[in-house]
Homo-oligomer: A and B are copies of this chain.
Amino acid sequence: MAAAISPLAPARFPDMPPVAGVKLATAAAGIRYGGRTDVLLALFEQGTSVAGVFTRSKCPSAPVDWCRAHLKGGAARALVVNSGNANAFTGKSGRAATRLTADIAARAAGCKPSDVFLASTGVIGEPLDATKFGAVMDQLVAGAAPGAWQTAAEAIMTTDTFPKGAAAMARFGAVPITVCGIAKGAGMIAPDMATLLSFVFTDAPISPRVLQSLLKQGVADSFNAVTIDGDTSTSDTLLAFATGAAAARGVSKIATVSDPRLPALRKAFDAVLANLAEQVARDGEGARKLVEIIVEGAVSKSSARKIALSIANSPLVKTAIAGEDANWGRVVMAVGKAGERADRDRLSIWFGGIRVAHRGERDPSYDEAAVSATMKKPEITLKVALGLGRGRDRVLTCDLTKEYVAINGDYRS
């Protein structure tokens, strides 16, 4: 399926500097697609720390199991990502395929298999022929070079309509620290193919434990605050790799969460994660509108999050936005069904800054024409004030269009 590029896509792939200690290569291994790259290899210098967060699915893919098992070592030398086959729900053969892939990469890269991290995205339930990695691995290792972010991002795409990358800088005194990331993800599985994968790379010297805390906090308001359809892949994987190459420029290791340099690094890290997460929402399957949902006045941040996700995942809210209809009645419905504390008679709702409902009733003063104009924009903010407390949160989503149904329902020919 050659889908048109999302109308919400950024104008171009960003400029992204190399990250010292990271080399990248891609190849066409013919896993499922023809005429395109489908394998990404990243090689890391000795001493690279790794951290990861994964799908909460109770039925995770074999590569997710592999990464979880090897994360506790905290060290990484290679990352192998393939698109076209998720190696999920593949039983023993799936476990064997992860092992074989790690062995192939370890041999070529000169490291232990346990220092190889893996991610797969694509069809569920079909055996992954890992010998295909063997056919391209030497070529990948030989060709690995710094900084080819766009080709890396392209190799991991499935139903994505554009490659996703983001970069940010931090400064430790006079020394610049680089954070670069790539991501893929469109629907959550669909059409048999999506999944959220993201990989972030930095040259900061940082212990695996502190890197893990950075990642765990950073994901909460970025990838965990994005929903396309409420469906959760078996394979969602976010890995962070810190090469520590900046140590050569006199930067000492960040080994505790109280390190005074951590806030600067966190800021860069969070910016990259937030940017990538927004790009995922912009590439939601069939999306025509990027929708920011803000909930404030809830009894807590977590309550605000649950209400925001209830709105963001409501098919009726999403179809209304696709129809450019400021249907606040459906927003009331979605607030009500969230199961969180809410008081109908204190509820106010805004579309694009225009208050349409106030304290439990239609706002008598709102201008229908102004709201209609707002709803025609490609980016829409929907705000709900509950009037109960100080809990606030924000999630990103997209509209639900006939194209979503077509992408996910029409593809069998």
Contacts and interface: CB of A to CB of B under 8 A. Distances in A.
A82 to B, nearest CB: 16
B342 A58 contact: yes
A336 B59 contact: yes
A12 interface: no
For A58, A91, A342, A401, which residue has the most chain B Cβ atoms within 10 angstroms? A58
A317 to B, nearest CB: 8
Q: Which of A126, A319, A401, A404 has the most chain B CB atoms inside 10 A of its CB?
A: A319
Nearest to A412: B325
A90 interface: yes
Interface string A337-362: 11111111101000000000101111
A231 B333 contact: yes
A232 B328 CA distance: 15
Given A234-B336, A410-B323, A189 B361 contact: no
A124 B329 contact: yes
Contact of A125 (B59, B92, B316, B362): B362
Interface residues of A, number: 73
Contacts of A360: 89, 91
Contact of A56 (B91, B93, B332, B337): B337
Contacts of A401: 405, 409
A404 B333 contact: no
A91 B345 contact: yes
Nearest to A359: B91
A166 interface: no
A58 B325 CA distance: 23
A228 to B, nearest CB: 9
Interface string A309-320: 000011110011
A333 B232 contact: yes
A402 interface: yes
A334 B410 contact: no
Given A91-B360, A360-B91, A406 B402 contact: yes
Interface in A68-91: 86, 88-91
A336 B232 contact: yes
B91 A315 contact: no
Contacts of A316: 187-190, 229, 231, 408
B315 A231 contact: yes
Interface string A375-401: 000000000000000000000000011
B330 A190 contact: yes
A89 B88 CA distance: 45
A283 interface: no
A325 B408 CA distance: 10
Interface-central residue, A123, A126, A330, by most chain B CB under 10 Å: A330
Nearest to A307: B58
B125 A192 contact: no
A306 to B, nearest CB: 11
Nearest to A235: B333
4 A-B pairs with the lowest CB-CB distances in the bound complex, closest first: A124-B329, A57-B336, A59-B336, A323-B409
Given A189-B329, A231-B333, A316-B408, 16 more contacts: A58-B337, A58-B340, A59-B333, A88-B329, A89-B332, A91-B359, A187-B316, A190-B330, A192-B330, A232-B333, A233-B333, A315-B404, A319-B408, A320-B409, A400-B409, A402-B406
27 contacts: A56-B339, A57-B336, A58-B337, A59-B336, A59-B344, A89-B347, A89-B360, A123-B329, A124-B332, A124-B333, A125-B332, A126-B362, A188-B316, A189-B330, A190-B319, A229-B315, A229-B316, A230-B313, A231-B333, A232-B337, A233-B333, A315-B315, A319-B405, A400-B405, A401-B409, A402-B402, A402-B405
